[in-house]
Amino acid sequence: MTTMGDGTMFKKTQIILLAVLITGLFMGCAQIDSRKSYDTQADFSALKTYSWEPGVEQSFSRPEYCTYFLTLADTILESRGYKKTSENPDFLIQIPSSERFKEVYATPHGAVEFFEGKLIIQVRESVSRNLIWEGVARVYFSETYSAEEVKKGIKDATEELLNSFPPE
């Protein structure tokens, strides 16, 4: 490939790379960046019942997103054999609030704004309150996303994380 003395080829390459990046961000809910970690000494086989820590609703921008998340997470956990209870649960689930980060990408046609949202799920042993499992998922979205698109991002992130709980 030859380059032109005025840098035109370089500029075209930059525009193509930016277009690929922006396309990837628009499809960001389908691509979840996640990590999970756990206490290797914890006996996950002894865990049968769970409860949600107070404050989960503070981690979501709208109450309906929190309700959607809790219903989805309860369904996934119940399908894995766990029972939700308020009486002496074996483990507690906490969703610490996290900040959204704004990213702006310049294009030849103006700036495009995206936000990075994080879903953090922490599992604590109920008596000691020790952290025994944690999953973190990053999801990119735009302020212009519809409620259904945001819910898809919540669903993808929740499934990505909870399908790895308990660790094998």
Q: Which CATH architecture has domain 8-162?
A: 2-Layer Sandwich (3.30)
Strands (E) across the chain are located at 33-38, 49-52, 83-84, 91-94, 101-107, 110-125, 131-141
Domain boundaries, the chain: 8-162
pTM assigned to the model: 0.74
Between CA 17 and CA 119 the distance in angstroms is: 28
Paired sense of beta strands 101-107 and 110-125, if any = antiparallel
* pLDDT tens per residue, range 22-43: 444 444 444 678 999 999 999 9
pLDDT at 138: 86
* pLDDT tens per residue, range 73-132: 999 999 999 999 999 999 999 998 765 555 666 777 777 666 777 889 999 999 999 999
